[in-house]
Structure 1
Amino acid sequence: MKAFLAAFFVIVLLAALGGYYYLTRYGSPVGTPFSSELSGDLGTLVRLAGAFMNTNGEERTFLVLFQNNMELRPGGGFIGSFGILKVKDGSVTSFASHDVVNFDGRIPDTVPAPYPLPETLGVKSLKLRDSNISPDWSVNAKAAEDFYKMGKGEEELDGVIGITTNVLTSFLSVVGPVEVPGYPGEYDAETGVLDLEYQVEQAFYKQGISRGERKSIMNLLGNIILERAKALPLGGKYDLFKVVLDDLHRKDIQISFKDEALQEIVRAAGWSGEIDREWGKDYLLAVDSNMNSFKTDYRMRRSMDYAIDLSGERAKARLTVTYEHTAKEKDFMTKDYQSFARIYVPEGSWLESVSGNAKPAVFGSDLGKKYFGAIVQIPLGATRSVTWSYVLPEDFDTADYDLLIEKQPGLNDVPVTITVKEKDGTVTEKRFILNRPARWSALE
C-alpha cells in the first residue's frame, strides 16, 4: 500500500505533464466533444502540479486515505489503511503507511457513533476508519484530521486526499496487465481489484505467506505500476492524464487543501468532493453505507428512477432505487447486502412514505439539505426496490424547473431515468448514466 499510494502521487504529476506536452505538441483531439473540457482540466491539473513541484524548499504533508469502495461508505469506501505523504519541490520525500485498526487503538472512545453504526456493526465510538460518514469530503477531511490528532499523530497536515480502489483499475487500464514476481497470475483492469482482494484475504495462506506479510504484494504492484507509468510514451501519458481526470470528476480521487487558494482551484474544477450547498432548485443525492462489513458492493448493481410532478399545488417527487445482488452464494467477500440508504433533497421537503425498507425511516438536516434514511436489505441473488415519496418545499419554484443530481463518491455508473410532469401536464423523460454531477437542463 505504501508504494502504491506514493506511486499515485507521482503518477498524477506524470499525467499532468504528459497531458500538457501532448496537447502542446499535437493539439486537442479533433472531433472529441470533451476537448475543451480536457483543455480546461489540463490547466487546472498543471497548476496543481506546479504548486507541488515548486514549494520553495518547504515540505508539504498530506494524510492519504485509501478507501475500499467494494465496501461502500458515504465518503467513498471503508478506510482500511492510510499514509502520511511528504513532498518537496515535486519529489516524494517520505511516505509512512499505517494500518487503521492499529492506529484506532490509540484513539479514545470519546466520540459516540451515530445511527446506525451501533445497531448494525456494534461500533460504539467513531474513529478514523469510520470518519468518512459524510458524502461531503470537506467534512470527512476535517473529521479524519481530528481523529489523526486524537491518535497522537505528530504531523501538521496541509491537506487530506482520498482515493478509492477504482483508481487502481484506472491505472491498470493504461499500464496493465501486470505480473508480480513471486505471485501467480496477472492483474488487469477487468478483474485486478478482485484478484488482489482474493490474494490478500485468501490465497496468501495457501502460498505459505504470513498474515503480517500478506499485503506486501501491494508494495510490489505499486512499484511496477509506477515504473510502467514512467516508461509510457507521450501518447500513453496523455491516456493516463485522461483517466486521472475521470477519477477526479467521478470523486474516486478527492482533495481537501488547507491552503484556501489551492482549495478554490480544486473546488472550481469539481475535484474537492464537496456537495453543492448553494444550489437553490431541485436537488438529489442518493447515498449508501455498507453495514455488513463484507465487500458486497462489488456485486451490487443499482439503478434510479426519479419522477417529479409539478402540476399540482405542491411539487411532489418519487425516487425508486433498485438494487440487484448479482452474487448467488456467500463467499469470503460477499453475503446478503445491508445498507443504510439516505437521500438528500431540498431543505423543507416532507417525507410521505417509503417502501422496501427493512426498518423505519429516519430523517434530519445536513449540509444545507433534508435527508431521509432507512436500512435496506438485499438477499443474495435478489432484486429489491426502495421507493421514497415526498413533497418538496412550500416555496419550491415550479415555473422554472431545474435539477442537480450528484454522485456518491466510490459509487460506479448508475443508470438513471428522470421524468418531469410540467404545470400543463406535459411529460418529459430523460435517461443517462450517472458518473458525475448532472443538471436536468443540460441533459440531452
Structure 2
Amino acid sequence: MRSSPTLFPFRFRFRLRRLTGSHPQRNAHFRLLLRLFVLTLLLVVAYKGMRAAFYGVAAYQDVVELQTLRTRSLTPAEKLGQAERQLASLSTVMAGLDQELDIFYPLLRMARPLPGYGPALAAGPELVGMGIDLLAVARDALTLAPTQLAAAVDHGDAAALLALLEALSHQDPTLAGRLAQVEARLDQLPIGSFPPALAGPLGNLQAVLQLATPALRSAPVLPQMLGFQGARTYLILVQNNHELRATGGFLSGIGTLRLENGAITHLEFVDSYDIGRDDVEHPWAPPPMQRYMGIDLLFLRDANWSPDLPTTAQLARAIYQQDTGNLVDGVITLDLRAVQLLVGALEPLTVPAAAEPLTADNVVDQIKEFWNRPPESEATLQGGQFWEWWERRKDFMPMLAQAFLDKLQRGQFDFLKLANALYTALDERAIQIWVEEPILAAELARMDWDGGLRPPAQGDFLALVDTNMGYNKVDAVVRREVQYTVSWPATAGEPPLAQAVITYEHPLAVPGHQCDNTPRYGSGYDDMLRRCYFNYVRLYVPAGSELLEVEGVETDSVVSQRGENNTQLFAGYFVMLPGSRHTVTFTYRLPPDLTPENYTLAIRRQAGSPPLPVTIQVDGQKTIVTVTRGRYTWPAPGAKERSLIRAPRGG
C-alpha cells in the first residue's frame, strides 16, 4: 500500500530525529562528520582547481610558443617539427584540463544568467571540447606532409607551401568535414555576449575556420591557382561604391596581380580610363546606359552592368584581353569597405604621402584627400592645372597597394585578425572572386563568394540592384530601406501578391539645386555627394512573377523581362533631389507554387551597398531585420516558428 503524501514528511522527520536526536554526544558526532565532509569537499575542489589552473597556465604557454613560431628563424621543416611538438603538448594539456574541470561543468552551465562573464562561463565545457577536437584536426593536417617539407628545407617557404598543398590534395576526406563540425559548434555559441577579451580571439578563430574549410576542399587545385604550375594572373576591379553599380561600384581602378610559386611577383594599379583602345570594336552599352548616360560603347570601366559577377567577370576579362592583349586567369573585385577592413587588420599602415598612419577609421577620408590633391603633386582640381590633376588623381592606388604588400612581406601583422578581415569582406561581398577553374569556382559559389546572382531552387527571392547614372558619388550618403509584403488572396489556389516598397533618403539638402546629369567634377569629392540621385533601379524576383504596377519611376522607363539565372527582372528610372525622400513601389504576383506552408524568402544584398533595413510581412507575420551579409534567408534555416507564417488569411 502506497504511503499517504501527508504521511511521508512525518516519517522523514522522524527518521532524521532518530539520527540526530537530542543526545549531546550524537549531535557532536553528526557535526564532526558534517565538518569532515565539507572539509574533504573543499580539499577536493581546491585540489581540482589548482590542477586546472596548472593546466591552464601550461596551455597558455603552449599557445604563446605557437604564436611566436611564425617569426622565428627556422627552416620550414624545423617549424613543422616544433609545431607538431607544441600541438602534441597542447593536446595533452587540454585533455588534462578537461578532466580536472569535469566536476565543475554542471556549475559552469548554471552560470549563464550571471551578468558579465555568465555566458562565457556557461560555454566553458563546449569551448574546451572544441579546442580538443580542433587540435586533433590540426595535428592530423600537419602530419600529412613531413617528408615533403623536410625535402623543401633548401628551397624556401614557397616549396614548403607547395608540398603542404600537394599533401592536402590527397588528404583524408573526413578532415574538412571534421573542421566544419568544429566550425558549426562554434557558430552556435553566443560569442557576441562574451567579454571582449574572449570574444575577439574567438571571432578571429571563427573566421579562420570559415576560410580553412573551403580551402581544404579546394586543396587539389590551389597549387595551380597560386602559380606553382606556372604563373597565374588575376584582374582586380577596384569598385568605388560611393558611385554604386550592379556588382558594387564604378570601376575606378584596374589592377593586375601575378602569383608565381605562391608569391606575389607583380601588383600594379592604373586608372580605369587608361584601359581602352579606339582601334578595336567594343560591344554596345546596355540600352539604359545609352539612354540616360549617353554611353554608346562599353569600355572596361562600365562593364559591370550585370549584378551576376560571373557574367560581368567574363565580359570584363574579354574586354581587358581585347584592349591589352593579356588573358587573365580570374577576376577579383574589392570596394572601399574591403579597403577599410584590410587596412584595419594591418593598422597602422604607413604611406609616405599621408599626413598620418592609415587606419580603418581614416583611410576613406585620406583616399578622398588624395583624390582632391594627388600625392607628390601641387596640382588640384581648382588650381588651374586640371589635366595634371586629372592624370594623377588616382596615384594613391599603387602607393596604398605597395604599403599593404610591404607590411605583408615583413610579417608584421596579426594573422588571425587579417583572416577575420578577409572573411568579413568575402561574407559581405566587399571582395568577390571569379575563376574559370571549375573546382575552385564551385567552392566559391558554394560559399557565395563569387558574387553570383543565385536565386534558390524553391522559394521567394528578392534582389535590389541600384545603378547610379549621375556621374557623382551620391551613394556615399544615400540611405535606403525596403518594406516587403506577401499575402495570399482569399480564393484558394490563386498566386500570392507581393509588394516591395523601397524608400530612398538623400540627407544633404542643397537649397535651389538644379539636377544636371552632365559629367563634371565640381569643386571636389564632397561636392559630388551633394547632387541629385539619378538611379536606375532593378528588382530581381522569381522567374514566372508577373508585374502589376510600378510607382515612383518614369512611366516610359518601366521594364519587365527575363533576368539572369532564372529570374524575372522589373526596372525603372527616377531622379531624386538632394535633401529629399523618394519611394519606389513594385507590385506583382509571385509564382503560384508558393504557398503559406512552403514559403521561404532569400534576400540578396547588393555588393557595395550599406546594410539594408528590411521589414518583412508574410501573411500577417512581421519581421524586421538589417541585412549586412551578402544573403539573408527567412525564416532562418531550422527555425522552430515555421507555423507562425500560417496565420489566417483575410477575407
TM value normalised by structure 1: 0.85
Pairwise mapping of residues 18-417 of structure 1 onto structure 2 (< 5 A)?
Answer: 31-32=190-191, 39-45=209-215, 50-51=222-223, 55-106=227-278, 108-151=280-323, 153-178=324-349, 180-185=351-356, 187-202=358-373, 207-208=378-379, 210-211=388-389, 212-229=391-408, 236-312=414-490, 313-329=494-510, 331-334=526-529, 335-360=531-556, 361-367=558-564, 368-417=566-615
Q: 1:379 Cα deviation (Å)?
A: 1.2
2:50 is aligned to none
SS in 2 for 1:317: strand
Query: Considering only aligned residues, what root-mean-square deviation do their CA atoms show, in Å?
Result: 3.0
Aligned counterparts of 1:230 and 1:216: Cα–Cα separation in 2: 22
User: Structure 1, residues 175-227: CA drift from partner, whole Å, max 9, x if none?
Assistant: 33545334435543234224312321356698447433443333333333334
When residues 38 and 397 of structure 1 are mapped into structure 2, their CA distance, relative to the original with a 3 A threshold, is: farther
Larger relative contact order (Cα-Cα within 8 Å, sequence gap ≥ 6): 1
Aligned to 2:648: none
User: What corresponds to 1:433 in structure 2?
Assistant: 627
CA–CA distance in 1 between the matches of 2:224 and 2:425?
20
Which amino acid in 2 is paired with 1:427? Q
Q: 2:613 touches 2:624 (CA, 8 Å); kept in 1? A: no
Letter in 1 for 2:460: D
1:110-130, Cα deviation, whole Å (9 max, x unpaired): 422112111221101112111
Q: 2:426·2:432 contact (CA, 8 Å) conserved in 1?
A: yes
Q: Distance in 2 between matches of 1:37 and 1:185?
A: 30
**Distance (Å, rounded) in 2 between the aligned partners of 1:186 and 1:165:** 17
Residue 94 of structure 1: CA displacement?
2.1
Where 1:285 maps in the other structure, the secondary structure is strand
**SS at 1:400's partner residue?**
coil
Shift of residue 270, structure 1, vs aligned partner: 1.3
Structure of larger gyration radius: 2
CA gap of 1:148–1:231, structure 2 versus 1, over 3 A, is closer
SS in 2 for 1:93: strand
Corresponding position of 2:32: none
Unpaired runs of at least 5, structure 1: 1-20
Instruction: Describe the shift of the 1:343–1:208 C-alpha distance in structure 2 as closer, same or farther (beyond 3 A).
Output: closer
Structure ranking higher in helix proportion: 2
- State how far apart, in whole Å, the 2-side matches of 1:202 and 1:36 are: 40
C-alpha separation in 2, matches of 1:358 and 1:197: 33
Check conservation: 1:53, 1:88, Cα contact below 8 A.
no
Pair 1:172–1:42, CA change in 2 (3 A): same
Return the alpha-carbon distance in structure 2 between the equivalents of residues 102 and 206 of structure 1: 19
Label 1:326 to 1:108 Cα distance change in 2 as closer, same or farther (>3 A): farther
Preserved CA contact (<8 Å) 2:317 2:327: no
CA gap 1:340/1:157 in 2 versus in 1, 3 angstroms: same
Once the two structures are TM-superposed, the CA of residue 37 in structure 1 deviates from its matched residue by 7.2
CA gap of 1:107–1:168, structure 2 versus 1, over 3 A, is: farther
Post-superposition Cα deviations, 1:106-151, rounded to whole Å, max 9, x if no partner, equal 4645422112111221101112111111111100011111212322
Which structure is higher in strand share? 1
For residues 379 and 213 of structure 1, the distance between their equivalents in structure 2, rounded to whole angstroms, comes to 31
| 1:263-293 CA-partner distances (Å, limit 9, x unpaired) | 1121111111112245221110000000001
Query: 2: CA distance between counterparts of 1:113 and 1:44?
Result: 37
Whichever residue aligns with residue 497 of structure 2, its letter is K
Give unmatched runs, 5+ long, in structure 2.
Answer: 1-86, 88-130, 139-181, 193-202, 381-387, 514-525, 640-651
Amino acid at match of 1:441: P
Change (3 A) 1:80 1:364: same
Write the distance in 1 (CA, Å) between the matches of 2:279 and 2:312: 17
In the alignment, the residues of structure 2 paired with residue 205 and residue 259 of structure 1 have an alpha-carbon distance, to the nearest angstrom, of 41
> What secondary structure is seen at the aligned counterpart in 2 of 1:125?
coil
Cα contact 2:375–2:396 (8 A) shared by 1? no
SS at match of 1:279: coil
CA contact (8 A) 2:247 2:304 kept: yes
SS at match of 1:173: helix
- 1:255 Cα deviation (Å)? 1.0
Question: How many angstroms apart in 2 are the aligned matches of 1:388 and 1:160?
Answer: 34
Cα distance in 2 for residues equivalent to 1:295 and 1:54 = 36
Residue in 2 that maps onto 1:9: none
Q: Kindly indicate whether the alpha-carbon contact (under 8 Å) linking 2:293 and 2:470 is maintained by their aligned counterparts in 1.
A: yes
How many pairs were matched up?
Answer: 418
Deviations 1:59-99 (A, max 9, x none): 11212111111111001111122122211121112234333
